[in-house]
Structure 1
């Protein structure tokens, strides 16, 4: 992974503290005020508003610096969408995950139609650089229509019960949505989920890791990658 270009110049607090506060907020179901309280317990006086500004400024930079998982030609993409209400207006978060539950991409869109499905597929193909071995979707017909418009010959399976991998990936975000008392704007929601998923991808062990020792090793490596992404490596 490339060394991070994140800079903490002209900030009163050290980079280690800023990165730790941002990590606490995105990694665990905590509010800004709870992060403020946790830091205060350690003798660090910083306001929740400052932590909010750090999350906005550095969260996206950290997510961009994190290494992306290399696509494999035998990958299986699970596609799904979840309804999110923002200021009484329904929106749809379109998400793609692979067979390990790793979030490949997600887009918040105001519609649940063929155009929205096509946009997700187009971004996926461009960013991954490879086509999957097959796609698993729910019974929404927009996916099939979008696939035909793009001329994709990828094998796809459409069955509600097969798409649990994608549906389960929405649960952590739902928990955060309740803690945050819903999202205030579409742009704020998109920024949050982008950082939230990137950090979750890094730290949550894939389903293939089943032993305590393997999970421990995975998290140690994840912390090393996090330090690199946040420009804290020695």
Structure 2
């Protein structure tokens, strides 16, 4: 189960692709079983991995991108820290002040108040920050996305697009939220396994990531 879910969330694969890869190893699992495993274990693994993550940075970069769910446009709100690690993401129908405030409240429920918040120059962010007293002392920097000042968060959306295309779009909002949340945590887990650092250091990071994943799977099971 753990290996199947790791393949599914680590690489842009469909459930039928994972089924074939497991079959090559003489493991017979249907794509429907994989779907049920995702429904049952994805939320548990997401929380377990989140609690195992190191302390995150004090600079938040926020942005949202449109995602089709069941043919309806939704907005995927995402926040990363200055190191590129995903703090959290939330799928919502709107991109107004209430949606921004909801996302800020979710972030503040998990992390300490940041020192700086970077957003694009849109009114909804400033309005939401003014409505939350805990953020009144936080520096709010508005950047121009076209000037590549917000590249950190812009690049963070790329891993979402790959599985979205591979699965030919998302069908249900709740399933999409659960999938993307675990997908983000797995991306954080392997953040340092594909860089220009020395090969041995990269292998050590990969080994540590796999150990954390396996331990989380044992706890979830």
TM-score by length of 2: 0.90
Q: Deviations over 1:83-134 (max 9, x none)?
A: 0122332110111011111111111111111111111111111211x11121
Q: Is residue 15–residue 35 contact of structure 2 (8 Å, CA) maintained in 1?
A: yes
Structure 1 residue aligned with 2:32, among 29, 46, 49? 49
Deviation of residue 208 (structure 1)? 8.7
| Counterpart position of 1:154 | 138
| Counterpart position of 1:89 | 72
Distance 2:23 2:33 in 1: 13
Give structure 1 stretches of 5+ with no counterpart: 1-17
| Counterpart position of 2:85 | 102
Number of residue pairs aligned between Structure 1 and Structure 2 = 213
| Counterpart position of 2:197 | 210
Structure 2 residue aligned with 1:58, among 41, 44, 49? 41
Distance 1:121 1:165 in 2: 18
TM-score by length of 1: 0.85
What is the RMSD computed on CA atoms of the aligned residues? Answer: 1.9
Q: In structure 1, the residue corresponding to 2:62 is in which secondary structure?
A: strand
Deviation of residue 206 (structure 1)? 8.1
Deviation of residue 221 (structure 1)? 0.8
Q: Deviations over 1:154-184 (max 9, x none)?
A: 1121112321111111101101000011000
Q: 1:114 to 1:102 in 2, by over 3 A?
A: same
